[in-house]
Each structure stands twice: as C-alpha cells, then as structure tokens.
Chain A
C-alpha cells in the first residue's frame, strides 16, 4: 500500500492533492426540549485540499468549529455527529473504515494541550504508542532519536505529563506525530501560550515536516503565526471556508486578497490598520439564506442575500464571493 502511494504521488507531484475535501458538512443531532430532535450544523459546504510539501493554515476565530474539522478528517467525531460530503486521500475515498486504518500510520494529529496526554503514563510510552512487542526496540530507538532532535533530555522519557513545561509538552506532542511517519499531519491550535522563542521553534517543526514531504494542516486562530510559515491560508468563517489565499497575497492593504472578510481580518491586525469590523459570526443555529457574510459585508449587493456563492478560482486562489472576478 505504502509503495503504491509513493509511485502515485511521484508521478503527480504537487499537482495532485494528498487530501481532498469536497462539500463537507457536519452536524450534530441534539435533543432540545423533551424528545424533540434538532440538527445543529457546525460545518457546511466546506472544500479544501492539502498538498504534499505544503502547509495549509486553516485560520478562524476560536469556537468556530475548526477542531471538529480535524476530528472529522481523522474520524474521531462523537457518535451523534453526522458527516456528509466527499473526502479523498491519495485519490481514494476516505471512508470511516479507511480513516481507522490510516490514523496513527499515515494520518497524525498534533493536539492542542497536555490534556491529550494520559496523565498516568510515562512520556516515552506515550510517544512510542501502542506497538507490537517485536517492534518495540525499534520504536524506542526512534523515539530517542526524535527526542535528541527536539532537545528533549533523556529524563523526560520517565516523566509524567504534569511534569512537563509548556514548550516541552509541545515538543512531546510533535514527537508523537513524527514517530508515526505520517504523511498528513493536522496540528490543532499548536501555538497558544507559547513565548516567542518556543513559538518560532514550534513553527519551524511544521516547516521541517512539510519540507520532508508531508502535507501539514495547521489549524489556528493566530493569523500572524500562520503567515510566518504557511504556503496557503484558508479562511474559516461560520463553519465554512471563505477563501484560500496564497501567503504572498497578504501584503500592503490587502488588495490582493479576494474576500472582504479576509481583507477585514488582515486590516484588523495591529501592525496594519488595527480596524475591527462590526458584528459577529452568525451562530450555528441561525439560518441564513444568502451569503454567510452578508450582514457584515461592506460590498454586499441585493444579489448576495439570495443563495450562498460557490467556491471559484480567482488569481490562483479560491473564494466564495459574488463580487470578485
């Protein structure tokens, strides 16, 4: 299987995506009052691609459902979740069974915090993970090598998660992905709470992974951090992706950016205009007919209030807006 994939990607190189998501939507079945069921839509009509050797940053505000996107790709959603749409990995449909087979091997998650480590398990055992006995020696060696690379001292191996500092935790979590030799790495909010030096270091790990041929999806709310290392930025808003821009598009006044929201986000940064736009993201249970950004948009027209625009290719990027051509 691995070999075949190798050939596949060898031929198509960067042009073919490692992971392709088309029109994904995710909703949760909830019981409201009594036995009445409602469906809460958290992601709708989301399309994106992750390429080998590239970092794709998915940027959106906290609580907008970005983590769920990661969980959906890995197939670790709770049982009341309903996932629709098409997902392809290496040009094969990514079914739940396929996800279960691939995760830990080709798909890896780098979670956000220390709570994702077993509080009662020693660090080396966690990094090594669950392996057959005959492979244990090999994995142990690999783990030592990775720890040396990430400057984790040998005594860290015997520590428990609560004994790690923030930076160490980050490196340990990164190690869990590196040891798996995964091809698609999804990092979920890897930057909050890090000082400048650790932040730089952490970001460089992801760049390294991409340079080694992995496809990295970086889920974050920190657009500045994302701009430092990513190749492409996907703007996540109210459960969908409004724009996929190249990192070079983010400059000056944002005139190369396609979507009004992306431009607003760019101009809200302190080093730019430091201007916030009014309003807030629509809540998950708010039903909107037209463009999801309609209420807050500065360029809206009558046409925008009916039907959500489709994703279209503009200047080497993707955008969901009627007013761009």
Chain B
C-alpha cells in the first residue's frame, strides 16, 4: 500500500521532470538561437581569418541550416547522452560538467549544511526571545545579510582574511605551483573555507527569519498554552513542541533553496576563482560556449528539481498529517 503510493508519487514526478526538461531544452535553445552569439566565432577564438574561410567554417558547422533542423539534431544527440564538445575546454561537455559539478558540490553541500544549522539555531533563539535585544540583533543581522550582494561580501571577506590578515589563500581550489599529486587534503580544505563561509553567511538569513516567524506562531498556539498549563516551560518546552513543529517546514525550505544556492555559487566562485560549475557557467556565457551553456542549464534544472522533489517527499511522506490526508483521498 505504502509502496504503491510512493511508486505513484515518483511516477508522477518523473513525468513532471521529463516535461520540465523538454520545456527547458526548448526555451534555452530558442534563447541562444535568438541571441547574437556566434558559435563559430567562439570556436575560432582569437585567431584572425578571412571571411572566405569563415564562410567555409559556417557551412561546415551548419550555421545556415534551418532552426528546427538544428534543434532536432541537438536534441537527438542529447537523447543519446551526447551533449557535444565544449568550445573553450575542447573536451566533451559531459566531462566538463562532471568535473566542475563535483568541485562545486562540496562547496555547496558545506554551505548548505552550515547555513541550515546556524540559521535554524539563530531562528529558534530569536523566536524564543522574541522582542528582546537578542532577537533584535539577530533580526538586524538577517536584514543586513539579505541586503548584501553576494559578490560584495565575497570581496570583503577576501580583502579582510586573505589580503590583510593573510589567513587564507586568495583563490582557486588548490595552491598555485604545486603538482596535482602533491596537493593535500588540508590545502583543499583551506581553499574551501572562504567561499563556503560566504555562501553560508548569506544562506543563514532566510532560514533564520523563517524559523523565527514559525516558532513565534507555534508559541502562540493552543498546544503550547496547554503544555504550559501542564507545567512545561523554558527550553524543555521549546525543544518538545517548538523545534518539533518548526523543523519540518524549515528543512523543506532549505531544500527549496537549491536554486539560490546555485546562483550564489556562480558569483562566489567567480570572485574566488574557484573552478566549479558556477565559474564554468559564467565562462560559457561570456565566451559563447553554447554546448556547455546548454548542458549546464539542463543539469542545473535537474539539480533544482531534485531539491524540490526532496522537499515534496518530506512533506508527503514524513509529515504525519499529510500522510493521513493522502490516505483519505
């Protein structure tokens, strides 16, 4: 019974994913097609060539084939798992994405976890101490953070910790001038700290404010009043009823934040020259690497989709109230 329901849920989501990807492919291809990007020019790079040669290349790459044909050529190959070759890296797009995504994943995972935990704790404290100076301090901190551009904070941290204090390296994911084989885990960790810190600090605000609001509401509820009437109080009450009722929506929100995480990573990686998917996206966009850009768009769509999927799963299958509602339908 339960498995059947899960199967049905996943089936529905699969159909959704497929239709989403079709639309994403369609839209992104159309946008690229409409843009003034010239992939042949990007392929040639800085070399100067005569217009005759350019025309030959245009013909070779099929620049003048009709749009529909172009799309079906590309989409047909996609279905076979062929994303084409990146124009700037000169290797298959899929390999670039794999490499860059792994590098980013650790960065995003770290900041996602840290911001989630810190944000939740701050939110609980603020909600608990609603109206006091602690609450006001946390609120102010969150408002400032929400108003702070990611790249600006990244630059600030870089200036303070790397340039003035010299505590952390200036950029990249590994030290410069060291053979790949000699890079230690500590080196990698050291390079990860500042970018991860930037992303975490910014991620804290949303989750903290949400948790705070939610906890205040919970504390005004009938069941908390009743718990008080039964002699529960203080931290024990917050842990027993507050955290229990705030945790699920907060975790859900954190999973829904995958898209922002991705956007934040792009900016932070750019500032720290951290070779991840964000930086690859910016490079692909600026240097007209159409195959890579389209590949990244598709993968990031899948990534965000899975964040939302997990959020839905939590709601449908972990929250006992919704579990029950489904069963009644």
B324 contacts A118, C-beta separation under 8 Å: no
Known interface pairs A103-B230, A104-B230; A118-B236 also in contact (CB < 8 Å): no
**Cβ of B240 under 8 Å from chain A:** yes
B230 contacts A162, C-beta separation under 8 Å: no
Q: Which of B227, B233, B319 has the most C-beta atoms of chain A within 10 angstroms of its own C-beta?
A: B227
Could you say which residues of chain B place their CB within 8 Å of the CB of A176? 230
Considering the chains assembled together, what is the distance between the CA atoms of A76 and B221 in angstroms? Answer: 12
What mask results when residues 223 to 245 of chain B are scored 1 for a CB within 8 Å of chain A, else 0? Answer: 10111111111001100110011
Could you say which residues of chain B place their CB within 8 Å of the CB of A108? 229-230
Considering the chains assembled together, what is the distance between the CA atoms of A163 and B327 in angstroms? Answer: 11
B244 contacts A160, C-beta separation under 8 Å: no
Could you say which residues of chain A place their CB within 8 Å of the CB of B52? none
Could you say which residues of chain A place their CB within 8 Å of the CB of B237? 130
A117 contacts B244, C-beta separation under 8 Å: no
Q: Which of A74, A111, A113, A118 has the most C-beta atoms of chain B within 10 angstroms of its own C-beta?
A: A118
How many chain B residues touch the partner (CB < 8 A)? 23
| Residues 195-253 of B at the A interface (beta carbon under 8 Å) | 221-223, 225-233, 236-237, 240-241, 244-245, 248
| Residues 100-147 of A at the B interface (beta carbon under 8 Å) | 100, 103-105, 107-109, 111, 113, 115-121, 129-130
B324 contacts A119, C-beta separation under 8 Å: no
A118 contacts B229, C-beta separation under 8 Å: no
Considering the chains assembled together, what is the distance between the CA atoms of A117 and B225 in angstroms? Answer: 10
**Cβ of A9 under 8 Å from chain B:** no
A162 contacts B244, C-beta separation under 8 Å: no
Considering the chains assembled together, what is the distance between the CA atoms of A292 and B226 in angstroms? Answer: 32
Considering the chains assembled together, what is the distance between the CA atoms of A130 and B231 in angstroms? Answer: 8
**Cβ of B321 under 8 Å from chain A:** yes
How many chain A residues touch the partner (CB < 8 A)? 26
What mask results when residues 297 to 325 of chain B are scored 1 for a CB within 8 Å of chain A, else 0? Answer: 00000000000000000000001110010
User: A116: shortest Cβ distance to chain B, in Å?
Assistant: 4
Could you say which residues of chain B place their CB within 8 Å of the CB of A105? 231
Considering the chains assembled together, what is the distance between the CA atoms of A130 and B239 in angstroms? Answer: 11
Which chain B residue lies CB-closest to A117? B223
Known interface pairs A116-B223, A117-B226; A104-B231 also in contact (CB < 8 Å): yes
What mask results when residues 146 to 168 of chain A are scored 1 for a CB within 8 Å of chain B, else 0? Answer: 00000000000000101100000
SS class of chain B's interface: helix, strand, loop or mixed? helix
Could you say which residues of chain B place their CB within 8 Å of the CB of A180? 230
Which chain A residue lies CB-closest to B131? A79
Known interface pairs A116-B223, A118-B244; A160-B230 also in contact (CB < 8 Å): no
User: A113: shortest Cβ distance to chain B, in Å?
Assistant: 8
B229 contacts A104, C-beta separation under 8 Å: yes
B221 contacts A115, C-beta separation under 8 Å: yes
What mask results when residues 87 to 105 of chain A are scored 1 for a CB within 8 Å of chain B, else 0? Answer: 0000000000000100111
B320 contacts A118, C-beta separation under 8 Å: no
Could you say which residues of chain A place their CB within 8 Å of the CB of B321? 119-120, 160, 162
Considering the chains assembled together, what is the distance between the CA atoms of A105 and B321 in angstroms? Answer: 31
A115 contacts B223, C-beta separation under 8 Å: yes
B241 contacts A116, C-beta separation under 8 Å: no
Q: Which of B221, B225, B236, B319 has the most C-beta atoms of chain A within 10 angstroms of its own C-beta?
A: B225
Could you say which residues of chain B place their CB within 8 Å of the CB of A120? 244-245, 248, 319-321
Considering the chains assembled together, what is the distance between the CA atoms of A176 and B232 in angstroms? Answer: 13
User: A164: shortest Cβ distance to chain B, in Å?
Assistant: 11
Could you say which residues of chain B place their CB within 8 Å of the CB of A116? 222-223, 225-226
Could you say which residues of chain B place their CB within 8 Å of the CB of A115? 221-223
User: A233: shortest Cβ distance to chain B, in Å?
Assistant: 24
Which chain B residue lies CB-closest to A78? B220
Considering the chains assembled together, what is the distance between the CA atoms of A35 and B17 in angstroms? Answer: 54
| Residues 50-107 of A at the B interface (beta carbon under 8 Å) | 71, 74, 76, 100, 103-105, 107
User: A108: shortest Cβ distance to chain B, in Å?
Assistant: 7
Which residue from A76, A113, A117, A130 sits with its C-beta under 8 Å from B229? A76
Could you say which residues of chain A place their CB within 8 Å of the CB of B244? 118, 120-121
Known interface pairs A120-B245, A162-B321, A163-B324; A130-B223 also in contact (CB < 8 Å): no
Which chain A residue lies CB-closest to B248? A120
Which chain A residue lies CB-closest to B245? A120
Considering the chains assembled together, what is the distance between the CA atoms of A118 and B224 in angstroms? Answer: 8
Considering the chains assembled together, what is the distance between the CA atoms of A111 and B230 in angstroms? Answer: 11
Known interface pairs A130-B236, A130-B240, A162-B321; A118-B231 also in contact (CB < 8 Å): no
- Contact sample, A vs B, 20 pairs, CB 8 Å cutoff: A100-B231, A100-B233, A103-B229, A104-B230, A105-B231, A107-B229, A108-B229, A108-B230, A111-B229, A113-B222, A116-B222, A116-B225, A118-B241, A119-B321, A120-B245, A130-B236, A160-B320, A160-B321, A162-B321, A180-B230
Q: Given A105-B231, A111-B229, A119-B245, list of 14 further CB < 8 A pairs?
A: A76-B229, A100-B231, A111-B226, A115-B223, A116-B223, A116-B226, A117-B223, A118-B223, A118-B227, A118-B245, A119-B321, A120-B320, A129-B231, A130-B232
Binding site for B on A (CB under 8 A): 71, 74, 76, 100, 103-105, 107-109, 111, 113, 115-121, 129-130, 160, 162-163, 176, 180
Q: Closest 5 A-B residue pairs measured CB to CB?
A: A104-B231, A116-B226, A104-B230, A109-B229, A115-B222
